[in-house]
Amino acid sequence: MELLASAVICGVIVLVGAALLFSKRTSFDHFIDGTKDGIRTCVGLLPTLIVLMVSVSMLSASGLVDFLAEKIAPFCEKIGIPSEILPLVIMRPISGSASNAMISELFEQYGADSFAGNVASVLLGSSDTILYVSAVYFASVNVRKTRHALPAAFAAMLFCVFFSSLICRLLLPQD
């Protein structure tokens, strides 16, 4: 599994190298421009991340997350979801930076390769910020009556929580 994933990553990089050598449609300058853009985006997010990281650290230091996780653990165990990912599930639809802050806190507490860490990763990778995305798209065409858009998106997100736990149990080695 890891071998295949690493092969894909290396394949992409080799493809880019080949494109830079042989293709006339791209150039190294453009590659560097893209890199600059990425750096700018990442650093541009820093002020938001600082503020959110403070609140996420406070939340985890207050013990509330552990308290709630313990409360819902019996229920979560029945459907096979690690209860530690609860704060991430709540934060994911609202903000990308906040969920990045959440997941790095979760990795620090439980480990990136733990079951909870794996499920959180798969969840973060296969879902998006529902509220932000739908706000951007519906606002662009002045739509106020969004009808069943949010219910359907949240239902899909809940399914995603369930399915990411299932797939981690099936495909990834358990610690």
- Among positions 52-71, residues that touch other proteins (CB under 8 A) are 52-64, 67
Pick one of 11, 39, 71, 72: the residue that binds other proteins (CB under 8 A).
Answer: 39
Interatomic CA distance for residues 115 and 175, integer angstroms: 7
CA dist 136 to 36, 129, 141, Å? Answer: 25, 11, 9
DSSP state of 153: H
Q: Taking CB under 8 A as the rule, does residue 16 contact other proteins?
A: yes
Helix-helix angle 2-22:28-44, to 10 degrees: 130
State the number of binding residues for other proteins (CB under 8 A): 108
Indicate whether 21 belongs to the interface with other proteins (CB under 8 A): no
List binders of other proteins among 75-94 (CB under 8 A): 91, 93-94
To other proteins, the closest distance from the beta carbon of 95 in angstroms equals 6
Report the nearest approach of other proteins to the CB of residue 73 (Å). 18
69 or 153: whose CB is closer to other proteins? 153
In the list 11, 21, 33, 69, the residue contacting other proteins (rule: CB under 8 A) is: 33
Q: Are 123 and 164 in contact (CB under 8 A)?
A: yes
Q: How many angstroms separate the CA atoms of 66 and 73, rounded?
A: 10
Secondary structure of 69-107 in the HEC alphabet? Answer: HHHHHHHHHHHCCCHHHHHHHHHCCCCHHHHHHHHHHHH
Other Cβ atoms closer than 10 A to 68: 14
32 binds other proteins (CB under 8 A): yes
Residue 73, interface with other proteins (CB under 8 A)?
no
Site for other proteins in 89-128 (CB under 8 A): 91, 93-95, 97-98, 100-101, 103-104, 107-108, 111-113, 117-118, 121-128
Query: Which residue, 83 or 129, is less far from other proteins as judged by CB?
Result: 129
Shortest distance, CB of residue 55 to other proteins, whole angstroms? Answer: 4
